[in-house]
């Protein structure tokens, strides 16, 4: 299901970019690694500044985060000193004022030296006045420590 969703999002992004003007190039590396850089500096304000005012961050099984103020709060909750984010951009497309970057990410706990989350991401960006900003972000985790874990007692009846 995740693979289908990722393929659908990739196809949608390519269609969106394909409908834009025909001038082709790539998004600069400082933009494609911007989130990773801000995460490393433990700087939620700079992370939020990478996004447009009307941006959205979507993750499966999570509420969509809408608007830069909510995105700032999201990064304040996500960024902690013990964690480091690593990204690997595999797709970098630009046509006109729209761009798409797609790749994989890993979040590592620096104390335990373990990967606590990894997955795929897709960012759709807009270029306004020469500045690239993220308009939509999709994060699809493949593995997250503690995912789907409950400490609630079982709802199944016990036999007497």
Question: Are the beta carbons of 45 and 72 closer than 8 angstroms?
Answer: yes
Structure tokens at 85: 């984010």
Domain limits for position 75: 2-144
In a domain? residue 149:
no
What's the rounded Cα separation, in Å, for the pair 97 and 129?
10
> What CATH code is carried by the domain that includes residue 45?
3.10.450.50
* 31-48 residue pLDDT tens: 999 999 999 999 999 999
List alpha helices for the chain, DSSP H. Answer: 2-18, 29-32, 34-40, 44-49, 68-78
The pLDDT of residue 91 is above 60:
yes
Structural domains of the chain, count = 1
Provide the pLDDT confidence category of residue 151 given band limits of 50, 70 and 90: very low
* 6-29 residue pLDDT tens: 444 454 445 444 544 445 589 999
Closest C-alpha to 94, from 37, 9, 22: 22
In a domain? residue 153:
no
Average pLDDT (133-138) is 97
In a domain? residue 150:
no
CA atoms within 13 A on the CB side of 137: 26
How does DSSP classify residue 28? -
In a domain? residue 152:
no
In a domain? residue 22:
yes
Please report the pLDDT score of residue 23 as a whole number: 56
- ∠ CA 27-32-38, nearest 5°, is 140
């Amino acid at each position: 299901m995740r693979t289908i969703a990722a393929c659908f999002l990739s196809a949608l992004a390519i269609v969106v970019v394909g409908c834009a003007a025909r001038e082709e190039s790539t998004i600069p590396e400082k933009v494609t690694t911007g989130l990773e850089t801000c995460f490393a500096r433990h700087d939620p304000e700079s992370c939020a500044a990478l996004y447009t005012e009307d941006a959205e961050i979507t993750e499966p099984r999570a509420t969509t985060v809408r608007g830069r103020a909510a995105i700032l709060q999201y990064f304040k909750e996500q960024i902690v000193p013990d964690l480091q984010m690593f990204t690997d951009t595999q797709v970098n497309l630009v046509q006109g004022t729209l761009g798409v970057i797609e790749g994989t990410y890993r979040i590592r706990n620096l104390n335990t030296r373990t990967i606590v989350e990894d997955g795929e991401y897709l960012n759709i960006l807009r270029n306004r006045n020469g500045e690239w900003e993220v308009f939509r972000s999709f994060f699809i985790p493949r593995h997250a420590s503690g995912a789907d874990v409950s400490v609630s007692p079982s709802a199944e009846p016990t036999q007497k």
